[in-house]
Structure 1
């Protein structure tokens, strides 16, 4: 299975603006099979408690080459800092997750069936590893390694359909603002 490629289309300090753009993009997508994935870097006990309250069954592992993980049954509090992920969550869990994450670097990735076809670019329906949308909060990158005070919206496409990203951005009054990069998962 190949990775998608993502391109940023919005960077804002207003989280509600990022969510509005995400909602508008979702409005043109084929949302059958919609699910949401979460990723967060946790460094404090307060953040850990809040996120685990929303995602009690999430997987986690210690960062920095240390060995703690949910698979081993370790205590996440004793393993901070950790990376926590949860897959295939309901779309209704986005806002509670973002509230719980607070100012911690985190990402919400919407996974759905397809982007619309773009006949003027010779593109059919865009799906199968190329139909995602990610909102990174308090991070500039998909890996959550570049902390920021702002939030970034990325559209995901297949690498061979890179021209779909600027088209998607234009559909919501945006433009691409960075390079097309391979998504980490």
Structure 2
């Protein structure tokens, strides 16, 4: 597992607005090989049923340092709730069905692509695949899905050494950055 660095660029109660801004950012990127990763924090069996329907073959692990249930162990997820559920490398077309299944669950959609565009105004060439992501955290205030919320946050991911690219990317879609750059799990 590696890490990227992320900075929030929008917080809104309007999920359509969050997805629109994410789309604008992705439109600026080299998204020829676009993939989407999903993650959700699941607490109830009805949530689990909906989300496993949208994310077949998803990996999962139990929440909490003292809990050790996981798909890797062959455990039953319904016996270990709450859990984190994750599915990587999905087609972009799966976003709508995932979000419908997520409902009001804390969830995350991360678009993974080839790289960010050149930013000559700030002395940066094209960004490569490492650190080139856009994430929308739904019903959560943080990238780890630990702080439930009634709003949604859009994050731009960059390489740590290119931290100023986040503000530049936000400006390209008419937004400022929010808060500090933070390490984000992948």
TM-score by length of 1: 0.97
Alpha-carbon distance, 1:128 to partner: 3.0
Say which is worse superposed, 107-116 or 65-74, in terms of deviation.
Answer: 65-74
Q: State the alpha-carbon separation in 1 of the partners of residues 7 and 175 from structure 2.
A: 12
Q: State the alpha-carbon separation in 2 of the partners of residues 171 and 184 from structure 1.
A: 25
1:47 corresponds to: 47
Say which is worse superposed, 85-94 or 64-73, in terms of deviation.
Answer: 64-73
1:101 corresponds to: 102
Preserved contact between residue 43 and residue 83 of structure 2 (Cα < 8 Å) = yes
- Superposition CA RMSD, Å: 1.1
Q: State the alpha-carbon separation in 2 of the partners of residues 163 and 78 from structure 1.
A: 44
Preserved contact between residue 5 and residue 156 of structure 1 (Cα < 8 Å) = yes
Q: State the alpha-carbon separation in 1 of the partners of residues 52 and 3 from structure 2.
A: 28
Query: Are 1:31 and 2:27 counterparts?
Result: no
Preserved contact between residue 132 and residue 155 of structure 1 (Cα < 8 Å) = yes
- Measured against aligned partners, the alpha-carbon deviations of 1:57-103 in whole angstroms (never above 9, x if no partner) come to 00001112222211222111111111111111110111110110111
1:20 corresponds to: 20
SS of residue paired to 1:77: helix
1:78-89 equivalences in 2 (<5 Å): 78-89=79-90
In structure 2, the CA distance between the partners of 1:2 and 1:81, relative to structure 1 (3 Å rule), is closer
Q: State the alpha-carbon separation in 2 of the partners of residues 108 and 20 from structure 1.
A: 13
SS of residue paired to 2:152: strand
Preserved contact between residue 2 and residue 185 of structure 2 (Cα < 8 Å) = no
Preserved contact between residue 2 and residue 129 of structure 1 (Cα < 8 Å) = no
Alpha-carbon distance, 1:173 to partner: 1.1
2:136 corresponds to: 135
1:157 corresponds to: 158
**How many equivalent pairs are there?**
185
Alpha-carbon distance, 1:137 to partner: 0.4
Alpha-carbon distance, 1:2 to partner: 4.8
Q: State the alpha-carbon separation in 2 of the partners of residues 67 and 5 from structure 1.
A: 28
Q: Which runs of 5+ in 1 are unaligned?
A: none
Preserved contact between residue 62 and residue 80 of structure 2 (Cα < 8 Å) = yes
Q: State the alpha-carbon separation in 1 of the partners of residues 173 and 135 from structure 2.
A: 15
1:146 corresponds to: 147
Alpha-carbon distance, 1:46 to partner: 0.9
